Amino acid sequence: MKIYTGGGDKGKTSLFSGERVPKNHERVDAYGDIDELSSLLGALAALIPEQGQGIVEEIHQIQSDLLSAGAILATTPDSSSFDSLTKIGLDKSKILEKSMDRMDAELPRLKTFILPGGHISSAWAHIARTVCRRAERRMIGLFQQSDADNDSSVSIPEHVQELLVYINRLSDYLFVTARYCNHILGTEDVPWKQ
């Protein structure tokens, strides 16, 4: 299979559900943000030192989850394949919460706002966090638009709502991960000075 097909040369792409849409379609923007986030997580994983290898394994699992999230976003809810997609259930959000609790138990108490930075791995975790928040905003806009375009009273499917919970929790996870990276490397968080 060739990587290049020429099918997008005129500015259109295919969704998983088969529709051809412009490459700047809000659905493409949404899964593009998820793809960007996964790439940033790959960079973050490459920078985490040996003492943080457990985090690297978590990040690889998150990247796998994000591929499933991208598939959900690349498929219109009314398509026949939508219900068969791999779901990101609330159990995935609970895993992130447990990881945050584990890391947070080792961290000094946060007494002030902090600036993104410190060790380079921490800085990349903060960058990933901000892209995660953008992806969340984009997803909310996409689903609100889908609801507005829908003539029926059908609301957002439950597994899409659970995906939104996961993305919200992931940004929190990345904040804690940024602090944890600084901690295991003996680097202070950068305090906000007014």
pLDDT by residue (tens digit) across 138-189?
A: 999 888 876 555 544 446 677 788 999 999 999 999 999 999 999 999 999 9
Query: pTM for the complete prediction?
Result: 0.89
Q: What is the pLDDT of residues 17-37, one digit of tens each?
A: 778 887 888 999 999 999 999
Q: What is the pLDDT of residue 146?
A: 63
Residue 111 located in a structural domain:
yes
Angle CA(113)–CA(121)–CA(57) in degrees, nearest 5?
115
CA distance 76 to 133: 22
Q: What is the pLDDT of residues 37-72, one digit of tens each?
A: 999 999 999 999 888 889 999 999 999 999 999 999
pLDDT one-digit tens code per residue, 110-126: 989 999 999 999 999 99
Is 11 inside a domain boundary?
no
126: left (phi over 0), alpha (psi -120 to 50) or beta: alpha
**Residue 21's beta-bridge partner residues?**
13
| Higher-scoring residue by pLDDT: 153, 103 | 103
Total structural domains in the chain? 1
Q: Which domain holds residue 36?
A: 24-191
Flag whether 71 is in a domain.
yes
Residue with the bigger pLDDT between 190 and 151: it is 190
The C-alpha atoms of residue 95 and residue 39 are separated, in whole angstroms, by 21
Return the pLDDT at 153: 44
pLDDT at 155: 64
Tell whether 77 is covered by a domain.
yes
SS3 for 5? Answer: coil
**CATH for 178:** 1.20.1200.10
Looking at the domain assignment, is residue 3 inside a domain?
Answer: no
Is 2 among the domain residues? Answer: no
Per-residue model confidence (pLDDT) at position 92: 96
The answer on pLDDT for 134 being more than 60 is: yes
